[in-house]
Amino acid sequence: MLGKQNFSERHIWSQARLSEYLDQQIAPAERAQLETHLTECAECRTALASLRWTIALVQQAPAPALPRSFTLPVPAQRAASPTFVFGLARFATALATLLLIAVIGVDVILQFSGGVSMTTALAPQTDKQVAAPVIAPTLQAVAAPLPTSAPKPLASPTQVAPAAEVAKPTQVAKPTSALSATMSAPAAAPIVRATLPAPAPSMPPLLGAMPTITIPLGIGGGAPETPGTADAAKARSITPVPRASTGNAITATLTLPPPTATLAPMATLTATPSATAQPSPTPVAQARTEPTRAPQPTRVPAAIPQPLAAPLRWVEIGLFFLVVFFATLTLLLWRKK
Amino acid sequence: MDETTFIHAAQHGDVAAFNQIVRAHQAQVYRTAYRVLGDPASAEDATQDAFVSAYKHIRAYRGGSFKAWLLRIVTNACYDQLRVKQRRPTASLDAMLVDPDNPAPGADRAAPETPHDFAERQELGATIQRGLTLLPADQRMTLVFVDIEGMSYDQVADAMKTNVGTVKSRLSRARAALRDFLQKQEELLPAPYRLKSGQV
């Protein structure tokens, strides 16, 4: 009974190991045990032969025809230049954008903080030079109703020198007055030096808009500086004095009439141009009086950034178009990629 | 250039080098897919998917048997196709086409094959394919990998992500089932392929 059970168990075990035995994937001890069973079991020998036949048939089965090649499509070789150009365009776009931002930043800084500092920096120049940018504040300073009955002494020598010129008797004594004015002025006979630069298209409206002109009575420590103050008849004469130091400006010395005269509508100026000045039919008169020469900070910033602002605008516009150009180029190359 | 060089180049994106690998393995891959799936169209799709997937993941190949690595991808592609076939069963008219220039592995190619022999072999192939189709997918793949492609148990276990013991049991059951099918169809087989009494 035990022998039959052992045979049955070995038969089942051998049936399960026939496949491995055919492939020689069985352990040597199991192989010996299986071969022992095969010698005494015809059914297992038949099963082994049928398995060997099956495997032989499977291996003899024809292979299917290869329908096509399964190679992958090779992408077309792109030239290296588009990639290089793409990187270059991207870099140029970034660089132009950064430059544009930097220029805009500089522009903004100049707009908001540069004006005040430039005003204070340029203020001394208005004292030393009688130039066109100083015209507007000087005129306004003259037109302002300043209580200048007592003229202030000049602080700097550069301001005293023109006063001395005004005080020269030869300038007043010369009867070359081509400039006449009818103004409302105190009887103390003040003197106004009018500096007339050549390009001055806006002079008549400014003069016409003057309601009153308050003119200091004296220059240089309160002492009368013009000998014409004693002579009322000569007070109505204006003697233009050529000044070598004013460049292309015209300097005229005015002796204002008594206060009974009327001013605004009839204010006429007739100037004789100096040797270096260009004659202008409508000159802008810069009535310069030393006590009112304090610079007006609110007017200067409008004129100072002009020489710098225009190039900045052009640079900003140019950079903007550069950014647009490079960005478009980058997008086109990116879409091609 | 050997296969390792092509693999290294393909890992760096060289499609041409990968195509050299494809040319070396595409017959085996398609044959395996065809035996597993039993349908040329599905086998073609599985083969193409397998190579595309292999190219995408070739950087994950870390050495070893490239054939086993590739057949693992083929196995997955076949499983995918089997799921597709279960949802949409199809019947192919050219399922019987075989390649006379690409005989089955292990076949004796010493003697030239006559048309009669070729026809008989085509009939044998069709019968075996029908028997394979009856097997479960796991057993079918195991039998194809071992008996048709000649892979070792370890390679099959690696390709099918299982252990050698499972491969042995699946192969044993698959062979036994196919043997029973062929014995039942023995009268339909050509005479040279029938089981002779002297072989037992």
Report the 3 state secondary structure along A129-150.
CCCHHHHHHHHHHHHCCCCCCC
pLDDT given for residue B85 in this prediction: 76
Mutate which: B30, B108, B151, vs A, most A CBs within 10 A: B30
Chain-chain contact of A64 with B43 (C-beta, under 8 angstroms):
yes
d(CA B176, CA A50): 9
pLDDT category of residue B1 using cuts at 50, 70 and 90: low
Highest-pLDDT range among A263-277, B22-36, B178-192: B22-36
Q: Is B119 in the A-facing interface, judged by CB distances under 8 Å?
A: no
Query: Is the same domain home to A195 and A271?
Result: yes
The two three-digit tokens of residue B109, written as one number: 């190619």
Query: Is the same domain home to A279 and A306?
Result: no
Query: Is the same domain home to A90 and A190?
Result: no
Whether the predicted pLDDT of A119 surpasses 80: no
pLDDT given for residue A174 in this prediction: 44
Query: Is the same domain home to B84 and B144?
Result: no
Query: Is the same domain home to A178 and A242?
Result: yes
Query: Is the same domain home to A191 and A253?
Result: yes
Query: Is the same domain home to A162 and A276?
Result: yes
Whether the predicted pLDDT of A96 surpasses 70: yes
Whether the predicted pLDDT of A320 surpasses 90: yes
Chain-chain contact of A59 with B106 (C-beta, under 8 angstroms):
yes
Chain A contact set for B55 (CB, 8 A) = 72
Residue B94: inside a domain? no
Q: What is the mean pLDDT of chain B?
A: 84
Q: Which residues contact A72 (CB under 8 A, 6 or more apart)?
A: B15, B18, B19, B22, B51, B52, B55
Residue B11: inside a domain? yes
Q: Average pLDDT, stretch A199-209?
A: 43
Query: Is the same domain home to B140 and B79?
Result: no
Q: Is B170 in the A-facing interface, judged by CB distances under 8 Å?
A: no
pLDDT category of residue B102 using cuts at 50, 70 and 90: low
Mutate which: A21, A57, A59, A77, vs B, most B CBs within 10 A: A57
Query: Is the same domain home to A118 and A156?
Result: no
Residue A74: inside a domain? no
Chain B contact set for A38 (CB, 8 A) = none
Query: Is the same domain home to A166 and A284?
Result: yes
Whether the predicted pLDDT of A28 surpasses 50: yes
Q: Of the given ranges (A94-103, B41-50, B167-176, B184-193), which has the lowest mean pLDDT? A: B184-193
Chain-chain contact of B40 with A63 (C-beta, under 8 angstroms):
no
Q: Which residues contact A59 (CB under 8 A, 6 or more apart)?
A: B104, B105, B106, B107, B147, B148
pLDDT given for residue A62 in this prediction: 85
Residue A248: inside a domain? yes
Residue A135: inside a domain? no
d(CA B88, CA B95): 17
Query: Is the same domain home to A41 and A155?
Result: no
DSSP 8-class letter at A238: B
Residues A195, A290: contact at Cβ < 8 Å?
no
Query: Is the same domain home to A87 and A173?
Result: no
pLDDT given for residue A79 in this prediction: 55
Chain B contact set for A72 (CB, 8 A) = 15, 18-19, 22, 51-52, 55
Q: Which residues contact A114 (CB under 8 A, 6 or more apart)?
A: A304, A305
pLDDT given for residue A308 in this prediction: 66
Chain-chain contact of A51 with B19 (C-beta, under 8 angstroms):
no
Residue B199: inside a domain? no
Q: Give the CATH number for residue B147.
A: 1.10.10.10
Mutate which: A14, A58, A69, A78, vs B, most B CBs within 10 A: A58
The two three-digit tokens of residue A135, written as one number: 């015209």
Q: Of the given ranges (B38-47, B157-166, B180-189), which has the lowest mean pLDDT? A: B180-189
Residue B93: inside a domain? no
pLDDT category of residue B56 using cuts at 50, 70 and 90: very high
Q: Average pLDDT, stretch A107-115?
A: 76
Residue B95: inside a domain? no
Residue B103: inside a domain? no
Query: Is the same domain home to B1 and B43?
Result: yes
Whether the predicted pLDDT of A17 surpasses 70: yes
Domain coverage including residue A284: 149-220+233-288
Predicted confidence (pLDDT) per residue in A285-294, tens digit: 444 444 455 5
Residues A240, A178: contact at Cβ < 8 Å?
yes
Domain coverage including residue B186: 114-194
Residue B33: inside a domain? yes
pLDDT given for residue B174 in this prediction: 95
Residue A163: inside a domain? yes
Highest-pLDDT range among A203-207, A230-234, B53-57: B53-57
Predicted confidence (pLDDT) per residue in A295-319, tens digit: 555 544 444 456 667 788 888 899 9
Q: Of the given ranges (A236-245, B91-100, B173-182), which has the lowest mean pLDDT? A: A236-245
Chain B contact set for A16 (CB, 8 A) = 169, 172
Query: Is the same domain home to B78 and B130?
Result: no
pLDDT category of residue B19 using cuts at 50, 70 and 90: very high
Cβ under 8 Å to B: A residues 91-150: none
Query: Is the same domain home to A323 and A276?
Result: no
Predicted confidence (pLDDT) per residue in A160-195, tens digit: 444 444 444 444 444 444 444 444 444 444 444 444
Query: Over chain B, what HEC string results?
Result: CCHHHHHHHHHCCCHHHHHHHHHHHHHHHHHHHHHHHCCHHHHHHHHHHHHHHHHHCHHHCCCCCHHHHHHHHHHHHHHHHHHHHHHCCCCCCCCCCCCCCCCCCCCCCCCCCCHHHHHHHHHHHHHHHHHHHHCCHHHHHHHHHHHHCCCCHHHHHHHCCCCHHHHHHHHHHHHHHHHHHHHHCHHHCCHHHCCCHHHC
Query: Is the same domain home to B67 and B137?
Result: no
Q: Give the CATH number for residue B84.
A: 1.10.1740.10
pLDDT given for residue B87 in this prediction: 73
Whether the predicted pLDDT of B110 surpasses 60: no
Please report, rounded to a whole number, the percentage of residues in chain B having pLDDT higher than 90. 45
Of B41, B71, B88, which residue constitutes the final position of a domain? B88
Whether the predicted pLDDT of B162 surpasses 80: yes
Q: Total domain count for chain A?
A: 3
State the pTM of this model: 0.49
Chain A contact set for B121 (CB, 8 A) = 60-62
Residue A247: inside a domain? yes
Query: Is the same domain home to A161 and A275?
Result: yes
Q: Average pLDDT, stretch A10-23?
A: 90
pLDDT given for residue B177 in this prediction: 94
Query: Is the same domain home to B132 and B55?
Result: no
Query: Is the same domain home to B84 and B2?
Result: yes
Q: Is A74 in the B-facing interface, judged by CB distances under 8 Å?
A: yes
ipTM of the complex as predicted: 0.81
Predicted confidence (pLDDT) per residue in A120-139, tens digit: 444 444 444 444 444 444 44
Residue A316: inside a domain? yes
pLDDT category of residue B34 using cuts at 50, 70 and 90: very high
Q: Total domain count for chain B?
A: 2
Residue B20: inside a domain? yes
pLDDT given for residue B2 in this prediction: 83
